Amino acid sequence: MKFTLERVHYMPKDLKPGVLYVSEEFDIAIHLCACGCGSKVKTPLGPTEWLIEETKRGPTLRPSVGNWHQACRSHYNLDGGEIIWAKKWTPEQIASGRRLEEERRRAYYDALDRKHRGMLQSIWFWLKRLFRD
């Protein structure tokens, strides 16, 4: 199945298979599971979530989509509009996938925090320099 990208403001009630609906306002993409089971797959977009890249061939979604909470448990990559099937996840992989996701988020917010502290520090050095003379 080829996927195409459709930009929307609000998500339509009836989703068409093979369409990746993207709402930039709400930072979310939704599509019907590529296996055909009819489940709606929501992928939040953002630096610690999923990223969408529009290519000439079709949309690319990163990282892979793992529908471990759906009955079908399908796992695939959407790459240039093409579905590339990946191995179904074992319960251990599901658990480590969740852990990785949390770590990724933590690392991101830690980095933001460090950047923030770094900024405060340079303001502090600047102030110190002002008062030194």
Binding site residues, Zn ion, CB under 5 A: 33, 35, 37, 72, 74
- Minimum Å gap between C-beta 108 and Zn ion is 29
- Minimum Å gap between C-beta 34 and Zn ion is 7
Is 54 or 83 the residue whose CB approaches Zn ion more closely? 83
Taking CA atoms, 39 is separated from 51, 71, 103, 107, in Å, by 21, 9, 27, 31
- Minimum Å gap between C-beta 83 and Zn ion is 11
Is 50 or 76 the residue whose CB approaches Zn ion more closely? 76
Per residue, the 3-state secondary structure of 3-62, as one string, reads CEEEECCCCCCCCCCCEEEEECCCCEEEEECCCCCCCEEEEEECCCCEEEEECCCCEEEE
Is 60 or 74 the residue whose CB approaches Zn ion more closely? 74
